[in-house]
Amino acid sequence: MRYFLELSYIGTSYSGFQVQENANTVQAEMEKAIAVLLKEKVALTGSSRTDAGVHAWQNYFHFDTAVPIENKGLKDKQQFVYKLNAILPPAIAVRSLQLVNDKAHSRFDAIYREYNYYLSTIKNPFIQDRAYYFPYKVDMELMQSAAGILKEYTDFTSFSKRNTQAKTFICHLAISEWEKRGSVLVYKVRGDRFLRGMVRALTSTMLNVGRKKTNLEEFRKIIEARDCSKASFAVPAHGLFLMKVEYPAGLQPSVG
């Protein structure tokens, strides 16, 4: 039996999403909690890997069990979610559980992923761990133009960290835009896939455009150089959220 598990988390205290040796990760916490609840070890497969300190409004794992969870002394999927949340630490919350076909894959079946990067233009202690404090004046029109330029390209080698296992640097962006929400600036990007460090690199490099350290022609040259030493990776992890992972109709769980 294969299940999709939808979850949210604040990544501040974790060394990323995927399990690592001698590191506290979201996957490690989830596997430990499920083992307690189901009294068996399960191997989780994640839909999207997030780096250390990155948050997720919505992410997914899939896992397999030999028998339905109802045969594990649980009344239904809602009780599984309730009990699992009681075991998990406060920074991780399970949102839903869905039985899927045995070939469904949380990573490879995803159609789109959407990220937001948040910047606070004022010092705000209530969002200090969820938005990058950036008190500098920026030209939003220039940054919006830069965001639009990104959709003209598919090779994002310049915005990928060097130590990556990616076999291709091709990504297709459906949305790339900036929004101003009061004192918070948000970069919103949606694509079929993302490279390691890509969203933070896009954000940081566009901030240089907004501060007029880089013009739009130079921004294009950075993209076309296919050289990560040309881009900026300066913004921290805590402003980044994985907002949504989208699946084909019939597989996408409903969000309560």
Distance of CA 39 to the CA centre of its chain: 30
Stretch among 41-45, 207-211, 215-219 having the lowest mean pLDDT: 41-45
User: Higher confidence at residue 3 or residue 71?
Assistant: 3
Q: How confident is the model at residue 105 (pLDDT cuts 50, 70, 90)?
A: very high
Q: Annotated catalytic residue: which of 51, 139, 155, 227?
A: 51
Cα-based distances in Å from 145 to 126, 152, 194, 206, 210:
31, 11, 21, 9, 10
Q: 200: which 2 tokens?
A: 């933070």
Distance, CA of 124 to chain centre: 23
| Nearest CA among 65, 89, 92 for reference residue 4 | 65
pTM: 0.92
Q: How far is it, in rounded angstroms, from Cα 42 to Cα 51?
A: 23
Structure tokens at 10: 């604040």
Direct distance between the N- and C-terminal alpha carbons of the chain, in angstroms, rounded to an integer: 23
Q: Model confidence at 187, in pLDDT bands (50, 70, 90)?
A: very high
The stretches of the chain forming alpha helices (DSSP H) are 26-38, 77-87, 140-150, 198-210, 216-225
Phi, psi torsion values for 3, nearest 5 degrees: -125, 145
Asked whether the beta carbons of 111 and 246 are under 8 A apart, the reply is yes
Average of pLDDT values for 46-73? Answer: 87
Handedness of CA 174, 177, 180, 185 (dihedral sign): positive
Which DSSP symbol is given to 182?
T
Give the pLDDT confidence of 239-248 residue by residue, as tens digits. 999 999 999 9
Residues 235, 207: contact at Cβ < 8 Å?
yes
Give me the torsion for CA of 141, 143, 149, 154, rounded to 10°: -160
Longest CA span, the chain = 62
The pLDDT, as a whole number, for residue 253 is 57
Active site (annotated) includes residue 51: yes
Instruction: Indicate whether 19 pLDDT > 80.
Output: no
254 dihedral zone (left: phi>0; alpha: psi -120 to 50; beta): beta
Q: What is the mean pLDDT of residues 35-61?
A: 90
Region 228-240: what's the mean pLDDT? Answer: 96
Share of the chain above pLDDT 90, in %: 76
Bridge partner list, 60? 6
Q: Domains in the chain, ordered, with CATH?
A: 2-108 (3.30.70.580), 112-244 (3.30.70.660)
Cβ atoms of residues 248 and 112 within 8 Å: no
